[in-house]
Amino acid sequence: MILKEKIKPSEKKALIWAFSYFFCLLASYYIIRPLRDEMGIFGGIENLPWLFTGTFLVMLIAVPFFGWVASNYPRERFIPYVYGFFISIIITFYLLFSSGFNHTRIAQAFYIWASVYNLFIISVFWSFMADIFSNSQAKRLYGYIAAGGTIGAIAGPALTLFLVKFTGPINLLILSALLLVGAIICVKKLNQWQLSFNKDKMTENTEDMSIPMGGNPFAGIKLVATSHYLMGICLLMLLYTTLSTFLYLQQAEIIKMNISDPSQRTAIFAGMDFAVNILTVLTQVFVTGKIVNFFGLGKTLMIIPIGLAIGLLILGLSPILSVLIVVQVLRRAGNYAIMKPAREMLYVSLGKEEKYKAKNFIDTTIYRGGDAVSAWFFGGLRALGVGLAGIAFIGVPLALVWAWVSFRLGNENEKMNTKAKLT
């Protein structure tokens, strides 16, 4: 068994709780996601760039607030506080929808909030993982931990499909909130494990756990601006979001042009999600850890952007629905199974403020800022008469630049880890 070869006995409890933690988070989100997408359609596809922009503006407010919480409360308290805040928002929307307030503005607010919620809960999760696991542990365990999220991403839609006919979609928001409560329990158990794991050798992480991080709430922005390494991660994120948004909007146009029946469109989206999640979990369990250990972080980070460059070239030559579906499924599965866990390893060797404040700024503000800019850029290209094939071709060199940036960052991370071992 792969698990017996990879996992040390002292790590098993932590792996189970981290796996369960990520399962709860993504199951919670994937219960909300269908309702979010319906709100996006309700507001009109043509308004999606405005919703992306609105999400970005909310991020500009939310990130300093998160920085203030992280500065003034210890990790064992501020992570539950963040999730508790989101639970209160879920309950608020549940009450609004249950009261019959289905105004367009509320639907748009829910879409924006869900887009913020998704990035924040996952960013905090991976910050926590980078804080409690060492670099060697991350290489061995991150693939399995990520699989917990993928199974949650399968379970969330499955629960929705099974329960919605009995409860209705709005009542499922309560289940989403309960799953976040489960995530808070997992956080407490992981904090307890770290204390136990380090009981014979008081480490920096053990001491810092019970005291506030301190620092400026805006420290994340300053840390990014003064670090070429973090700026490189920002560039990686912007290239990733640009290409993801291009494909998302191409997908919306191609599917809308080819299929007029909403139920058929829903079936295609559901089928794509199912294929993505199955491919992802199989890759995470059986392949991810081996790839990183065999190729190293730099080459691993190159795999998906190079594959996407090839996929975009084929899509440009043949911009049809079947090609789009294959490219999207492979890209998304590759991102979740390989790119995402490898990208999170870039933070393991950094300090606590970088792991929480800088990372959160990159994962939320930079991510959604890239979404907003690329959505308007896509609209501008279409307004100038550039076809979907032309936009696919534009994406090819961007994907190659993404691959080069990823390779450089991965190599720099390896050097940082080597230097840390020698000092």
From CA 304, how far away is CA 322, in angstroms rounded?
A: 20
What is the pLDDT confidence band of residue 41, given thresholds at 50, 70 and 90? low
**Is 20 a residue whose pLDDT tops 80?**
yes
Which span out of 228-232, 357-361, 385-389 was modeled with the highest average pLDDT?
Answer: 228-232
Nearest to 346 by CA among 413, 283, 300: 413
The number of beta carbons lying within 10 Å of the beta carbon of residue 12 is 12
Dist. CA 226–CA 241, nearest whole Å:
23
Residue 206, pLDDT score: 47
| Sign of the alpha-carbon torsion through 76, 82, 83, 87 | positive
- In order of 1, 192, 377, the CA distances from 228 in angstroms are 41, 35, 26
Q: What is the DSSP letter of 288?
A: I
Q: Which of 60-69, 105-114, 217-226, 312-321 has the lowest mean pLDDT?
A: 60-69
166 falls in which pLDDT band (50, 70, 90)? confident
Q: What is each CA distance from 229 to 190, 232, 267, 408, 414, in whole angstroms?
A: 29, 5, 42, 10, 12
Q: Average the pLDDT over 187-200 and give the result.
A: 79
- pLDDT for 132-161, tens place per residue? 888 788 878 888 888 898 889 888 877 877
- The answer, yes or no, to whether residue 91 has pLDDT greater than 90, is yes
Name which of 231, 406, 205 is nearest 306 in CA terms. 406
pLDDT for position 251: 84
212-216, 255-259, 316-320, 419-423: least confident range: 212-216
The pLDDT assigned to 205 comes to: 44
What pLDDT, on the 0 to 100 scale, is given for residue 397? 96
Is 213's pLDDT higher than 70? no
Q: Running DSSP on this structure, what letter comes out for residue 365?
A: I
Query: What tens digit of pLDDT does each residue of 217-228 get?
Result: 567 788 888 999
How large is the average pLDDT for residues 114-128?
Answer: 83
Report residue 270's pLDDT band, with 50, 70 and 90 as the boundaries: low
Burial class (CB in 10 A: 0-12, 13-18, 19+), 54: buried
- Are the CB atoms for 110 and 36 separated by under 8 Å? yes
CA distance 47 to 372: 12
CA distances from 319 to 178, 250, 312 (A): 42, 9, 9
The predicted pLDDT at position 73 comes to 66
Residue 82: is its pLDDT beyond 60? yes
Q: Whose structure tokens read 């912007």? A: 238
The rounded distance, in Å, linking the Cα atoms of 355 and 413 is 14
Dihedral pair phi/psi, residue 375, rounded to 5°: -65, -45
> Percent of the chain having pLDDT more than 90?
26
Q: Does the 2-422 domain belong in CATH 3.30.70.260? A: no
Rank 113-127, 265-279, 333-347 by mean pLDDT and report only the highest.
333-347
Residue boundaries of the structural domains of the chain: 2-422
Average pLDDT, the chain: 82
Q: What does the pLDDT read at residue 111?
A: 83
Quote the tokens at residue 325.
Answer: 């579906």
- pLDDT of res. 203: 46
Where does the pLDDT of residue 267 fall: very low under 50, low under 70, confident under 90, or very high at 90 and above? Answer: low
**Quick one: average pLDDT of 242-261?**
83
**87 confidence band (pLDDT: 50, 70, 90):** very high
Is residue 19 predicted with pLDDT exceeding 70? yes
Under a CB-based contact definition with an 8 Å cutoff, are residues 353 and 208 in contact? no
Average pLDDT over residues 164-185: 87
| DSSP states along 15-78 | HHHHHHHHHHHHHHHHHHHHHHHHHHHHT-GGGHHHHHHHHHHHHHHHHHHHHHHHHHS-HHHH
Q: Which of 118-122, 142-146, 306-310 has maximum average pLDDT? A: 306-310
Neighbour count for residue 205 (Cβ, 10 Å): 17
Please calculate the CA angle 99-104-107 and round it to the nearest 5 degrees: 70
Identify each DSSP E strand in 117-267 by its residue range. Answer: none
Which range, of 5-9, 118-122, 334-338, 370-374, averages the lowest pLDDT? Answer: 5-9
Helix (H, G, I), strand (E, B) or coil at 327: helix
What pLDDT shows up at residue 204? Answer: 44
Closest by CA to 387, choosing from 213, 250, 196, 234, is 250
pLDDT band at 235 (very low <50, low <70, confident <90, very high): very high
Q: What distance in Å separates the CA atoms of residue 55 and residue 36, rounded to the nearest whole number?
A: 13
Q: Give the three-class secondary structure for 142.
A: helix
pLDDT at 321 > cutoff 60: yes
The dihedrals phi and psi of 344, each to the nearest 5 degrees, come to: -65, -25
> What is the Cα gyration radius of the chain?
21
